[in-house]
């Protein structure tokens, strides 16, 4: 018997629950960031978010390039209409990959935010 499908919001909640107790990690607050409560931040910098039912993570450009080339994600296109080089968007169908990617993003942004 298979389990019921998980919505993107439910899958993202799993990611949040797994990472929210990590040092310096917090949810974005309403009005503080344009993406509102859908953001995960470390040292005040966004490292992951849920946008339009897709998981979006900030990773080093070579890692984003590799994910895109492997067909495992797309470059995230922000509100200005340009693809962002260090952001990857992953569809809900690949929800099992969200948490590992979020951990990578936390490590990446956490290390660069302290500089």
More confident call, 79 vs 89: 89
Q: What is the pLDDT of residue 2?
A: 56
Q: Which domains does the chain have, with CATH numbers?
A: 8-113 (3.30.1460)
Q: Nearest 5°: phi and psi at 79?
A: -60, -20
| Segment 3-39, tens digit of pLDDT | 666 899 999 999 999 999 999 999 986 444 455 558 9
Give yes or no for residue 41 having a pLDDT over 60: yes
**The model scores a pTM over 0.85:** yes
Say which residue the tokens 């005040």 belong to.
44
Cα–Cα distance, 110 to 71 (Å, whole number): 26
With beta carbons less than 8 A apart as the criterion, state whether 55 and 48 touch: yes
Across the range 72-80, mean pLDDT stands at: 91
9-33: b (≥16 Cβ within 10 Å) or e = eebbeebbeebeeeeebeebeeeeb
| Segment 83-106, tens digit of pLDDT | 999 999 999 988 899 999 999 999
87: closest CA among 78, 79, 100? Answer: 78
With beta carbons less than 8 A apart as the criterion, state whether 25 and 40 touch: yes
Q: What is the pLDDT of residue 29?
A: 65
Q: What is the pLDDT of residue 68?
A: 97
């Amino acid at each position: 018997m298979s389990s019921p499908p998980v919505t993107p919001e439910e899958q993202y909640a799993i990611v949040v629950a797994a990472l929210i107790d990590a040092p310096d990690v917090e949810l974005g607050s309403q009005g503080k960031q344009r993406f509102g409560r859908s953001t995960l931040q470390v040292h005040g910098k966004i490292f992951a978010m849920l946008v339009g039912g897709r998981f979006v993570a900030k990773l080093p450009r070579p890692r984003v390039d590799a994910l895109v080339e492997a067909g495992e994600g797309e470059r995230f296109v922000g509100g200005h209409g340009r693809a962002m080089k260090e952001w990857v968007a992953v569809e809900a169908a690949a929800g099992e990959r969200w948490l590992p990617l979020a951990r990578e993003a936390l490590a990446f942004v956490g290390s660069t935010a302290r500089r």
